Amino acid sequence: MAEARQTSRRQKRAALSSAAPLATEAPSLPPVIDDWFHRKGWQLRPHQVALLKAAEARQSTLLVAPTGAGKTLAGFLPSLISLSRPRFEKRGAGLRVLYISPLKALAADVARNLITPIDEMGLKIRTETRSGDTSAARRQRQRTHPPHILLTTPEQVALLLSHPDAGFLFADLETIILDELHALAASKRGDLLALDVARLRTLADGVMTIGLSATVARPSELRAYLVPQPQPDTHIYLAHLVTVSGGAPPDIRILEAETAVPWSGHTARYAMREIYDVIRSNKLAIVFVNTRMQAEYLFQELWRGNDDNLPIGLHHGSLDAKQRNKVEAAMADGSLRAVVATSTLDLGIDWGDVDIVINIGAPKGASRLLQRIGRSNHRLNEASRAVLVPGNRFEVLECRAALDAAEAGSQDAFLSRSGALDVLAQHILGMACAAPFSPDALFAEVRSALPYSDLTRLQFDRAVDFVATGGYALRAYDRFAKLKATDDGLLRVSNARVVQQYRLNVGTIVDTPLLKVRLISGKRTRAALQGGRPLGDIDEYFVEQLTPRATFVFAGEVLRFEGLRDTEVFVSRATASDPMIPSYGGGRFPMSTHLAARVRGMLADTSSWSALPEPVADWLRLQAHRSVIPEANEVLVETFPRNSRHYLVAYPFEGRLAHQTLGMLLTRRLDRAGAKPLGFVANDYALSIWGHGDMSDMIATGRLSLADLFEQDMLGDDLDAWLAESSLMKRTFRHAAVIAGLIERRHPGKEKSGRQVTMSTDLVYDVLRRHDPGHLLLEASWADAASGLLDIARLGEFLARIKGRISHQPLSRVSPLSVPVLLEIGKEQVYGQAHDALLRDAADALIREAMGDI
């Protein structure tokens, strides 16, 4: 959608200016800023000059730069110049610059880094942050007496815009700076932000946007995101582009351990000694993992062998803010040697002098790897250093592919997407809270935001209707409508409670319910479950698995589960050295298509195997001998018997999510074909289905056709039928229902309101599917499922790609390549299975007990 369909006049102008030699004709800086540069011994860099010139022409600009290029200062420089000028005629509250970042921590970090130069320049510029943690009094004051520069998050902007005084607050706005735009744009938060920016443009005439982004594959989509799209049907307008090229190429290697890489798993336990040695020989290392569970596990293991007592910290999103702050401060002042972290540290927060990044497990995407590697070294001309530690043999291939991609400088494509309808519904309500609105005007404004440029009037009207009455085919709620028409054709909120509801439910981040973990003394009895130091938050589903006195690892400690009270989990310190380690739930990010293609290519190219560790190369040679190595453009399907069962293993390399969906669908088809499938398992690279039927024989005798089995039409009826019962789909629906405001968020302290009153969104989903299958929320969840949890879009591309390219190998025994996925059997729970089987087992257990096996 967002590929530039036609260059516009504006873009031509942009192209011209970026081609001009910029560094030679630096614009003159105001004396205070010029002096400051002199005192620092700095000169304006070419990209800073380019940005200043664009700003002078009031051109919105995307600045693409690797870490360490001084993006943030470049982004603020035009605003500092503007704010240092004495002449300014105030029309509104005096807020001139709005900086929006995906993380409140990032906003706080930037504030720190911005206030120092402002003070050194002696400028009278007020800079403040605003987040959910900001005190109510301060937030109230910021609406009437805002600072010159406000640093905040998309959710806070949405909240500010929902107030009737938004027009006054933003009347003086000159510049909107969107940081880490690559991380934000292609998500529901990005949709919300795009809508908010569209409104800001309406409120502040001539406001300019500056987007800051890490290197991306196709900057044109981010450029289009930054400017209004007044004629989305015929033209896509682009912002000006400034690119900082260069930087030393990163220095990346794959860790070689004495112990051979294991067949499966993600823990990298085999390489603990070598990881520790890397930490010991560097000043400050960040050890990146993909999930919180991995972080806890690795942290525990590192300390187990920490003979030198190196200060090693732990940082992940579930930890208590106080604990996280402590680790961050320790990093900044150099008193740590290593931090084990999840993606909370991915984004551009500058935590100190990191000189090496250790990435555990597969990086899942070339851009993600580059982003993480960029955390080491913030100086542009020095190479960032990174060590990749694959967790298993397939991950060796993936690490190798990512490394090649990083060296070639190639990046994953930024996926263009249509704005989510649930987010649109939330925005419409927010706009109604601010002031009565004209549907025509709001529709035009919404369409000017890139993600919604292909929104139809029908979809918009349905979203408005959804906000007003729930949008049901059965017009039952017109008299309870939340939006009412005024005499002059505007829509207004029907009462104050609607506004209150909106403010409590704003935002697009829907978490599974979190419970607070508190540490108490183990000697206390169950009756005294109270008080205790907070350690952080933990997913409700995780707690559900715990039995009292069970030990687990959290916040870097071995803890014993003492009990649950309301929304708090009480734990005590356990002395057990061997805790019940929670099983690893798999990488949260599926491998990117770009990387998957590289892995397939590397597998097919036998000459590239010499770059792999010897055991891995041996493994592939054995596979070539026993079965075949699939060509890069085909999919290999193996069938073989094992332990009186028959297995079918396919290697699509499309990521766990797509494989799970594929597994579900293939199982249904195999069942119909009479292959009597019993179960399946999937990882990022392959999937395996097993059953009673001899699938080799069925294929040989023509009773089963692989071409039919992998026929694209499985995405039709089979998918519908399966989705209906899929718990993933229900979870997707819950998210959409919360974002759209159908279901209210659970707020701390409100959960106690009695379970028999609350009902699950599953019931709502089932009822809607039966009675209102065309409902807006079902459409929104379907769109999410296609790109998100179920990766249906990717599966569709896969099925199209392999049409006529299925290579079948009937084997007499297990193939080497299939071992990793077969080892996953029993490790993970398959979603969507009928719960009746479980209940029947429970009933059987009771019957057995009753009959007595004497």
Partner 1 sequence: MAGLKPERLGLDDFADQPISICGKAFRAHKSGALYWPAERALIVADLHFEKGSSFATRGQMLPPYDTRETLAKLARAIDTYDVETVIALGDSLHDVRAVERMNARDLEGLAILQEDRDWIWITGNHDTVLDKRLGGVVLNDVTVEGITFRHEPAVGAVTHEIAAHLHPAARLKMNGTVLRRPCFVGNGLRLVMPAFGSFTGGLNVLDEAFHPLFDSDGIAVWMLGQEGLYPVASRMLCGD
565 binds partner 1 (CB under 8 A): no
Q: Which is nearer to partner 1, 699 or 776 (CB)?
A: 776
Please give the Cα distance from 509 to 184 (Å, whole number): 12
Please give the Cα distance from 361 to 358 (Å, whole number): 10
768 binds partner 1 (CB under 8 A): yes
C-beta of residue 402 within 8 angstroms of C-beta of residue 595? yes
C-beta of residue 432 within 8 angstroms of C-beta of residue 396? no
Q: Which stretch binds partner 1 (CB under 8 A): 14-22, 319-327, 604-612, 843-851?
A: 843-851
- What angle in degrees, to the nearest 10, is found between the helix axes of 439-447 and 188-203? 120
- Pairing outcome for strands 483-485 and 491-493: antiparallel
836 binds partner 1 (CB under 8 A): yes
Amino acid at 428: I
844 binds partner 1 (CB under 8 A): yes
Q: Which H or E element spans position 6?
A: none
321 binds partner 1 (CB under 8 A): no
Q: Which stretch binds partner 1 (CB under 8 A): 67-75, 230-238, 644-652, 837-845?
A: 837-845
Neighbour-count burial for 751-779, b at 16+ CB within 10 Å, e otherwise: eeeeeeeeeebeebbeebbeebeebbbbb
830 binds partner 1 (CB under 8 A): no
The residues with which 243 forms a beta bridge, in sequence order, are 64
325 binds partner 1 (CB under 8 A): no
Strand order in the sheet with 356-360: 251-254, 385-389, 356-360, 285-288, 338-341, 312-315
20 binds partner 1 (CB under 8 A): no
Mapping DSSP to helix (H, G, I), strand (E, B) and coil, where does residue 561 land? strand
Mapping DSSP to helix (H, G, I), strand (E, B) and coil, where does residue 848 land? helix
Q: Which is nearer to partner 1, 389 or 468 (CB)?
A: 468
The least CB distance from residue 615 to partner 1, in Å, is 33
Please give the Cα distance from 293 to 239 (Å, whole number): 41
34 binds partner 1 (CB under 8 A): no
The least CB distance from residue 544 to partner 1, in Å, is 5
User: What residues from 102 to 141 belong to the interface with partner 1 (CB under 8 A)?
Assistant: none
Q: Which is nearer to partner 1, 307 or 836 (CB)?
A: 836
Q: Which stretch binds partner 1 (CB under 8 A): 75-83, 315-323, 648-656, 829-837?
A: 829-837
User: What residues from 511 to 550 belong to the interface with partner 1 (CB under 8 A)?
Assistant: 544-545
Q: Which residue in this structure is represented by tokens 């036998």?
A: 606
The least CB distance from residue 619 to partner 1, in Å, is 31
Q: Which is nearer to partner 1, 57 or 842 (CB)?
A: 842
Nearest-CA neighbor of 818 among 699, 654, 630, 686? 686
Q: Which is nearer to partner 1, 701 or 756 (CB)?
A: 756
Amino acid at 196: D
Please give the Cα distance from 138 to 145 (Å, whole number): 10
Q: Which stretch binds partner 1 (CB under 8 A): 22-30, 431-439, 477-485, 612-620?
A: 477-485
The least CB distance from residue 725 to partner 1, in Å, is 9
The least CB distance from residue 755 to partner 1, in Å, is 5
The least CB distance from residue 501 to partner 1, in Å, is 6
Q: Which stretch binds partner 1 (CB under 8 A): 134-142, 601-609, 625-633, 762-770?
A: 762-770
The residues with which 338 forms a beta bridge, in sequence order, are 285, 312
User: What residues from 637 to 676 belong to the interface with partner 1 (CB under 8 A)?
Assistant: none
The least CB distance from residue 498 to partner 1, in Å, is 6
Q: Which is nearer to partner 1, 542 or 710 (CB)?
A: 542
- Pairing outcome for strands 635-642 and 806-810: parallel
Q: Which stretch binds partner 1 (CB under 8 A): 73-81, 594-602, 672-680, 833-841?
A: 833-841
757 binds partner 1 (CB under 8 A): yes
Please give the Cα distance from 171 to 94 (Å, whole number): 8
504 binds partner 1 (CB under 8 A): no
Of 73, 764, 806, 819, the residue at the interface with partner 1 (CB under 8 A) is 764
Q: Which stretch binds partner 1 (CB under 8 A): 289-297, 355-363, 767-775, 810-818?
A: 767-775
DSSP 355-390: -EEEEES--SSHHHHHHHHTTS---TTSPPEEEEE-
The least CB distance from residue 442 to partner 1, in Å, is 20
User: What residues from 771 to 810 belong to the interface with partner 1 (CB under 8 A)?
Assistant: 771-772, 775
Contacts with 567 (C-beta within 8 Å, 6 or more apart), sequence order:
513, 515, 516, 748, 749, 751
The least CB distance from residue 644 to partner 1, in Å, is 19
758 binds partner 1 (CB under 8 A): yes
Q: Which is nearer to partner 1, 233 or 744 (CB)?
A: 744
Q: Which is nearer to partner 1, 10 or 745 (CB)?
A: 745
The least CB distance from residue 263 to partner 1, in Å, is 23
852 binds partner 1 (CB under 8 A): yes
The least CB distance from residue 757 to partner 1, in Å, is 6
3 binds partner 1 (CB under 8 A): no
825 binds partner 1 (CB under 8 A): no
Q: Which is nearer to partner 1, 228 or 586 (CB)?
A: 586
760 binds partner 1 (CB under 8 A): yes
Nearest-CA neighbor of 717 among 665, 772, 769, 765? 665
Q: Which is nearer to partner 1, 418 or 469 (CB)?
A: 469
Of 133, 205, 578, 849, the residue at the interface with partner 1 (CB under 8 A) is 849
Q: Which H or E element spans position 672?
A: helix 656-672
Report DSSP state, residue 683: -
Helices (H) and strands (E) in the chain, counts: 33, 25
498 binds partner 1 (CB under 8 A): yes
The least CB distance from residue 770 to partner 1, in Å, is 7
234 binds partner 1 (CB under 8 A): no
Q: Which residue in this structure is represented by tokens 């403040």?
A: 128
Helices (H), 352-477: 366-373, 393-408, 421-434, 439-447, 457-469
Provide the CB-side half-sphere exposure for 120 (13 A, CA).
Answer: 14
The residues with which 485 forms a beta bridge, in sequence order, are 491
89 binds partner 1 (CB under 8 A): no
Q: Which stretch binds partner 1 (CB under 8 A): 257-265, 323-331, 442-450, 832-840?
A: 832-840
DSSP 155-220: HHHHHHHTSTTHHHHTTT--EEEETTHHHHTTSHHHHHHHHHHHHHHHHSTT-EEEEEE---S-HH
Please give the Cα distance from 393 to 152 (Å, whole number): 43
Q: Which is nearer to partner 1, 225 or 552 (CB)?
A: 552
CA dihedral 301, 305, 306, 312 (to 10 degrees): -10
Radius of gyration of the chain (CA): 28
Count residues near partner 1 (CB under 8 A).
54
Please give the Cα distance from 437 to 198 (Å, whole number): 15
Q: Which H or E element spans position 518?
A: strand 514-519
Contacts with 611 (C-beta within 8 Å, 6 or more apart), sequence order:
400
User: What residues from 737 to 756 belong to the interface with partner 1 (CB under 8 A)?
Assistant: 742-744, 754-756
The least CB distance from residue 584 to partner 1, in Å, is 14
427 binds partner 1 (CB under 8 A): no
The least CB distance from residue 214 to partner 1, in Å, is 40
C-beta of residue 571 within 8 angstroms of C-beta of residue 517? yes
The least CB distance from residue 633 to partner 1, in Å, is 40
**Interface with partner 1 by CB under 8 A: which residues?**
466, 469-472, 474, 476-477, 480, 482, 495, 497-498, 501, 544-545, 742-744, 754-760, 763-764, 767-768, 770-772, 775, 829, 834-836, 838-849, 851-854
